[in-house]
Amino acid sequence: MAEIGNDIKKANKLLSNGEIVAIPTETVYGLAGNALDEGAILKIYEAKNRPKFDPLIAHVDTFDKVQRIVKKIPHQAKILAEAFWPGPLTFLLDKQELVPDLLTSGLSRVAVRIPRHPIARELLSTLSFPLAAPSANPFGYVSPTSAQHVQAQLGDRLSYILDGGSSEVGVESTIVGFEEDEVVVYRLGGTKVEDIEALVGDVKVQVNESSNPAAPGMLKSHYSPGRQMIMGNIEANLKNADRETTGVISYQKEYNVPEGNQVVLSSVGDLGEAARNIFSALRKMDQSHIELVLAEYLPDEGLGRAINDRLKRAAV
Ligand code: TXA
Ligand code: MG
């Protein structure tokens, strides 16, 4: 088992020695290592069992440090950075030579983000290198939003988990790239598309459904809760189901299944609250007595778009 604690110095020391450490961010927990050290990057891929064609995000705490690892920052990226950094937004930008190809899976762009979680920021401010940090889950499973989630699945693969409480956003960062004059959203996440469009005009949403190495990581089964899952009208789908072995993930309403089989994402209809709860809801459905999960789509706006995307992938 890994140690769970609040010791930033200890995390710094491990990371400076090329080890991997789980860290809190406002979106989800990350499995961090020195982004400029191939040995550390390899440890991350191995611990997650992640294919090396699926590149990692580099995390830094200042715009200056972003400039050290990318070539040019387009005008629109500057506008978005000003508005949303630190925060749940990742940019794909042309990488400098010093960024290892292993980090970007050989692609010419590197993914970079300034997180806003105070512990992540404090840790990053004490480091002279960026941190590569994919979500701290085994490849193909739901992202962790607490230190305990990390412990449950990767606890035997690392020595230290920096605890920062429950992730405040609850879904991963929105990923955007810049092509010609167009802003392209590659992953729906914690920064709302509407908020991005308010600043830079219409964007293209190009969320990948397959394991296309050109825009990797958006594998369909990425959020698999390990149970068969059906999306749609919960009431109707419950009619033919055995309620004892059926789990329900709903937006606001309770359904007639045993209490332990049910998660209401936000009884008051708050999409932010629903986002904070979605990944622990999917984890909860991984109980041995649950054989089938019924869930419904949320309003397809704001954070609802990112939540619906994760539900859709989980239900494949
Ligand atoms: O919120 C987040 O982004 C969290 C926290 C820890 O920061 N991190 C995260 O990392 O979700 P990960 O590795 O689970 O997802 C990163 C996604 C993957 O789908 C990957 O394929 C994509 O970003 N990505 C990374 N670098 C890329 C690149 N150079 N080009 C295209 N896609 C890239
Ligand atoms: Mg991930």
Which residues' Cβ are closer than 6 Å to ligand 1? 25, 27-28, 30, 54-57, 88, 90, 92, 104, 107, 109-111, 113, 115, 133-135, 172-173, 175, 215-218
Choose the residue to mutate in 20, 21, 44, 56 for probing ligand 1, maximizing ligand atoms within 8 Å of C-beta.
Answer: 56
Instruction: Mean pLDDT check: name the lowest of 55-69, 128-142, 216-230.
Output: 216-230
Residue range(s) in the chain whose domain bears CATH number 3.40.50.11030: 228-314
Measured between alpha carbons, how far is residue 58 from residues 241, 280, 291 in Å?
Answer: 45, 25, 38
Q: Who has greater pLDDT, 240 or 64?
A: 64
Q: Which atom of ligand 1 is nearest to the CA of 172?
A: 1
Q: Does CATH number 3.40.50.11030 belong to domain 228-314?
A: yes
Whether the per-residue pLDDT at 218 is higher than 70: the answer is no
Separation between Cα atoms, residue 80 and residue 77, nearest integer Å: 5
Average pLDDT for 78-95: 98
Tokens representing residue 41 in the block: 């990057």
Q: Who has greater pLDDT, 154 or 216?
A: 154
Separation between Cα atoms, residue 220 and residue 94, nearest integer Å: 26
Q: How many Cβ atoms are within 10 Å of 294's Cβ, its own excluded?
A: 27
**CATH code for 3-205?**
3.90.870.10
Crossing angle (nearest 10°) for helices 147-154 and 271-284: 30
Average pLDDT for 235-240: 95
pLDDT band at 197 (very low <50, low <70, confident <90, very high): very high
Inter-residue contact 56 to 111 (CB < 8 Å): yes
Percent of the chain at pLDDT exceeding 70: 95
Spacing, Cα 155 to ligand 1 middle (Å):
22
Identity of residue 27: T
Q: Which residue has a Cα nearest atom 15 of ligand 1?
A: 134
Average pLDDT for 270-293: 95
Whether the per-residue pLDDT at 215 is higher than 80: the answer is no
Residue range(s) in the chain whose domain bears CATH number 3.90.870.10: 3-205
Separation between Cα atoms, residue 303 and residue 270, nearest integer Å: 10
Q: Is the dihedral of CA 188, 194, 197, 198 positive or negative?
A: negative
pLDDT at 181: 81
Pairing of β 292-295 and β 228-231: parallel
Average pLDDT for 22-51: 98
pLDDT at 224: 67
- Could you tell me the pTM of the whole model? 0.96
Spacing, Cα 31 to ligand 2 middle (Å):
10
Q: Which atom of ligand 1 is nearest to the CA of 95?
A: 29
Sequence-distant (≥ 6) Cβ neighbours of residue 247 within 8 angstroms = 227, 257, 261, 262, 263, 284, 285, 287, 290, 292, 293, 294
Chain mean pLDDT for the chain = 94
**Best CA proximity match to 66, nearest among 115, 6, 104, 113:** 113
Q: What is the largest CA-CA distance in the chain?
A: 59
**Best CA proximity match to 24, nearest among 106, 159, 135:** 135
Average pLDDT for 237-247: 95
Separation between Cα atoms, residue 207 and residue 152, nearest integer Å: 30
Average pLDDT for 92-111: 98
Q: Which residue has a Cα nearest atom 33 of ligand 1?
A: 55
Whether the per-residue pLDDT at 208 is higher than 90: the answer is no
